[in-house]
Amino acid sequence: MWAGTCQLIAKTVKKDEYGVQQTEETKRKVFCNVFSMGDAAYYAAAAAGVHPEAVLQIRKSAYEGERLVEFDGARLTVARVDRSSPDFVRLTLAEVVGDRG
């Protein structure tokens, strides 16, 4: 059973007809479970300038190496990928200091 959904975002760079590079984003909606992050890990990441926001678990077959995720109304970067499970990956999502508009 899944607790929610998130959108995995893949970026590709293509050249247009004039040779100018354009970045395109492809979003895929996947089911996920949400986990909490321990205090020690949270403060260690914050000291490094990263604000951990969430830890999500998704099926390993659904993850294709995306580095951006939209979750709970926020656009976050993948700070860590845990592949220790044979069926699932856990993505630690973070907001890097200075990413806000």
Q: pLDDT for 25-44, tens place per residue?
A: 999 999 999 998 878 878 88
Q: Is 84 helix (H, G, I), strand (E, B) or coil?
A: coil
Phi then psi dihedrals of residue 16, to 5 deg: -85, -175
Mean pLDDT (whole number) for 44-71: 90
Distance CA 71, CA 34 (A): 10
Distance CA 79, CA 91 (A): 7
Can you give the pLDDT at residue 43? 83
Q: Is 39 helix (H, G, I), strand (E, B) or coil?
A: helix
Domain ranges of the chain: 4-96
Q: Is 57 helix (H, G, I), strand (E, B) or coil?
A: strand
Res. 58: pLDDT tops 60: yes
Res. 47: pLDDT tops 70: yes
